[in-house]
Chain A
């Protein structure tokens, strides 16, 4: 079921998809900078008795905003605003990429409402010694091998089809610009979002960090920075996956489900 809310600002539309019909515990999924894919293994696998809510992040196309939020802490307030309209109390949060950074911001804003937090390849910290590739300055042919462990495999080709037709190619470019252009408001030119300074708010929140070993844009070495601020967090690196880890790795999905259970 799709919930569409006008707001929070005049002209904005914020959309939340509710998967299944469960009235069980609420699980909120925040998609990555690449948007919500129509038939991913996640978040469908998360149903498992949960009431799963997929939030379409404002500006990524399905949810629209008249202007980007000033920063991810402001965007977090927008997502809480939408969830409040669904009478949601305590939630468990799963986020991927920029959705993970946003999930951490939401938890920092209202830690008492987040029962557990799974962060998959989160943006938000930066290490000059291992900066990762500049996602905003790479052609698809150069970027895909850094975000997919198998850039020619089924996940990559389903998520980023390569049409031969110029019209379809143009539409793919527009979709890419919509996604990454919006993400650039928060991650450009350096993806240090300042989240580190707010992580002290998560001291009582159980946290799982998951990285794909071959992530070329958010390097797994950043896990050490995150756990430096979140010493109670569990951190895992899964093999044979890159930045699109929740789609590429069944092991990653299993880790998440076990953690949430």
Chain B
């Protein structure tokens, strides 16, 4: 299995009564809550953590993209990845950019250009994730018309792939982008292109797109693997129906993972930070969840409750999670937390039952201070990861950066991370 140390880069200064006094952590969060002096330190702490994770043996380190959001301070994942590319040049850690949300960029060749730059700078260590983009980011923060988001995604996606691979200058006459000359300089070091992972949050269209195009599907949910099991089962059913193989590296899973010396110590160390995340960071005004038109009427019909069904609050909802205590988060599988053996057993069990080859591990959560994140990284890489890396080793990971024949990377001075 492959493990990516993934960061959301949350703001840690939301007040305790945030959910009572404020409408939303995302889109229209009160700018007066912002403390940019504090964010200066957070950015540097978080980059230190990512660099430390690379040095401690994570297979990859990952960044993502959000806008107008206090739990995700990375409006530009590429900027963070550029810094990491240089500062982890002495490691073999790959760099996962789980942006760039394609519909947000016009022309989308900006993505082709910047990701190609990252791939070249990092010596071919880039893994790209092309998200559709949430409604909060695409519609409300960036003003994209809801019903056009998916069309823009498909058009931009194809344009980027062609721009990376074409040996000729070409014209693009799309519905959303018109370019007489497409000719990015440079193209990626990895040919024909860096690995592409497709993240989704439950839409069948996204799963089918990944299956059809032979890209791995990454399920992004804050509610853990157990809640997400039905989605992954659906993915494997659709993959089988489409006639593709059952290589576990076709699937990735986002999962909060918190390791301590004992199960009790995990609660003592991390409970407050988990609650900070699920009580404050996920407090989003429901009106921003999905702009009308973002999801098709057909998709909504597919999840229509049967006649006579009572209205119930789903357990995998942020509203429900606000009332959870540590035991609920653990028992419901929203987080995987505990001693190294507890964490390893749970990961092994979930990986084997759901065929998950890639883990996007969220190991800094909420307002966790730097030293706890560093500790979590060290415990995981020294006491959990060994052994797990061999799981599924009989399968070829077809979507992982490969050594580039005859390529000699530049020599970059190593950088020590101060603890």
Partners in one complex: yes
Interface size on A, residues (CB 8 A): 28
**Which residues in A have their C-beta under 8 angstroms from that of B295?**
177
Stretch at the interface among A3-11, A122-130, A162-170, A252-260: A162-170
A178 to B148, CA, bound (A): 14
A169 to B139, CA, bound (A): 24
A136 beta carbon closer than 8 Å to chain B: yes
A176 to B184, CA, bound (A): 43
A179 to B147, CA, bound (A): 12
CB-based contact A165/B292 at 8 Å: no
**Which residues in A have their C-beta under 8 angstroms from that of B143?**
188-190
**Which residues in B have their C-beta under 8 angstroms from that of A138?**
287
CB-based contact B312/A166 at 8 Å: yes
Of the residues A136, A164, A174, contact of B291 by C-beta under 8 Å: A136
Interface centre among A68, A167, A190 (most CB of B within 10 A): A167
Of the residues B145, B286, B297, contact of A177 by C-beta under 8 Å: B297
**Which residues in B have their C-beta under 8 angstroms from that of A224?**
none
**Which residues in B have their C-beta under 8 angstroms from that of A177?**
292-293, 295, 297, 300
Of the residues A68, A139, A167, A188, contact of B306 by C-beta under 8 Å: A167
- In the assembled complex, the CB of A11 is this many whole angstroms from the nearest CB of chain B, namely 15
Of the residues B287, B294, B308, contact of A142 by C-beta under 8 Å: B287
Of the residues A68, A180, A189, contact of B292 by C-beta under 8 Å: A180
**Which residues in A have their C-beta under 8 angstroms from that of B292?**
136, 176-177, 179-181, 183-184
- In the assembled complex, the CB of A65 is this many whole angstroms from the nearest CB of chain B, namely 11
Residue interface mask A172-197, B partner, CB < 8 A = 1: 01101111111111001110000000
Of the residues A139, A169, A174, A190, contact of B297 by C-beta under 8 Å: A174
CB-based contact A188/B287 at 8 Å: no
Interface size on B, residues (CB 8 A): 30
- In the assembled complex, the CB of A12 is this many whole angstroms from the nearest CB of chain B, namely 16
- In the assembled complex, the CB of A33 is this many whole angstroms from the nearest CB of chain B, namely 10
A178 to B285, CA, bound (A): 21
**Which residues in B have their C-beta under 8 angstroms from that of A261?**
none
With contacts A167-B304, A170-B304 taken as known, whether A184 is within 8 angstroms of B311 at the C-beta atoms is: no
B406 beta carbon closer than 8 Å to chain A: no
With contacts A166-B312, A174-B297, A177-B297 taken as known, whether A184 is within 8 angstroms of B307 at the C-beta atoms is: no
A88 beta carbon closer than 8 Å to chain B: no
CB-based contact B287/A185 at 8 Å: no
CB-based contact A166/B309 at 8 Å: yes
CB-based contact B309/A184 at 8 Å: no
**Which residues in B have their C-beta under 8 angstroms from that of A173?**
300
CB-based contact A166/B293 at 8 Å: no
With contacts A142-B287, A166-B309 taken as known, whether A180 is within 8 angstroms of B140 at the C-beta atoms is: no
CB-based contact B311/A165 at 8 Å: yes
CB-based contact A188/B145 at 8 Å: yes
CB-based contact B300/A165 at 8 Å: no
Residue interface mask B120-148, A partner, CB < 8 A = 1: 00000000000000000001100101111
Interface centre among B140, B293, B300, B312 (most CB of A within 10 A): B293
With contacts A173-B300, A177-B297, A181-B146 taken as known, whether A167 is within 8 angstroms of B291 at the C-beta atoms is: no
B41 beta carbon closer than 8 Å to chain A: no
With contacts A177-B293, A180-B293, A188-B291 taken as known, whether A166 is within 8 angstroms of B300 at the C-beta atoms is: no
Cβ-closest chain B residue relative to A59: B147
A66 beta carbon closer than 8 Å to chain B: no
**Which residues in B have their C-beta under 8 angstroms from that of A169?**
305, 311
A169 to B308, CA, bound (A): 11
CB-based contact A184/B304 at 8 Å: no
CB-based contact B304/A68 at 8 Å: no
B301 beta carbon closer than 8 Å to chain A: yes
B21 beta carbon closer than 8 Å to chain A: no
**Which residues in B have their C-beta under 8 angstroms from that of A166?**
305, 309-312
- In the assembled complex, the CB of B296 is this many whole angstroms from the nearest CB of chain A, namely 9
A178 to B305, CA, bound (A): 18
- Name B302-348 residues within 8 Å CB distance of A: 303-312
CB-based contact B311/A189 at 8 Å: no
B43 beta carbon closer than 8 Å to chain A: no
A137 beta carbon closer than 8 Å to chain B: yes
B392 beta carbon closer than 8 Å to chain A: no
CB-based contact A165/B140 at 8 Å: no
**Which residues in A have their C-beta under 8 angstroms from that of B288?**
137
Cβ-closest chain A residue relative to B27: A137
**Which residues in A have their C-beta under 8 angstroms from that of B304?**
167, 170-171, 174
- In the assembled complex, the CB of A183 is this many whole angstroms from the nearest CB of chain B, namely 8
**Which residues in B have their C-beta under 8 angstroms from that of A165?**
307-311
- Name A80-111 residues within 8 Å CB distance of B: none
A180 to B294, CA, bound (A): 11
Interface centre among A68, A174, A181, A182 (most CB of B within 10 A): A181
**Which residues in B have their C-beta under 8 angstroms from that of A178?**
297
Cβ-closest chain B residue relative to A177: B292
Of the residues B27, B285, B287, B293, contact of A181 by C-beta under 8 Å: B293
A136 to B304, CA, bound (A): 22
**Which residues in A have their C-beta under 8 angstroms from that of B297?**
174, 177-178, 181
CB-based contact A182/B293 at 8 Å: yes
Cβ-closest chain A residue relative to B311: A166
CB-based contact B287/A184 at 8 Å: no
CB-based contact A170/B147 at 8 Å: no
Of the residues A142, A167, A171, A188, contact of B146 by C-beta under 8 Å: A188
- In the assembled complex, the CB of B294 is this many whole angstroms from the nearest CB of chain A, namely 8
A174 to B299, CA, bound (A): 10
The 7 listed contacts between A and B (C-beta, < 8 Å) are A136-B291, A137-B288, A169-B311, A181-B292, A184-B292, A188-B145, A189-B143
**Residues of chain A at the chain B interface (Cβ within 8 Å):** 68, 136-139, 142, 164-167, 169-171, 173-174, 176-185, 188-190
- Taking A167-B304, A181-B293 as given, write out 12 further A-B residue pairs in contact, using a Cβ cutoff of 8 Å, ordered by the A residue number: A137-B288, A165-B308, A165-B310, A166-B309, A167-B309, A170-B304, A177-B295, A181-B146, A184-B146, A184-B292, A185-B293, A188-B293
**Residues of chain B at the chain A interface (Cβ within 8 Å):** 27, 139-140, 143, 145-148, 285-288, 291-295, 297, 300-301, 303-312
6 tightest Cβ-Cβ pairs between the two chains A and B = A181-B293, A180-B292, A189-B143, A166-B309, A166-B305, A181-B292
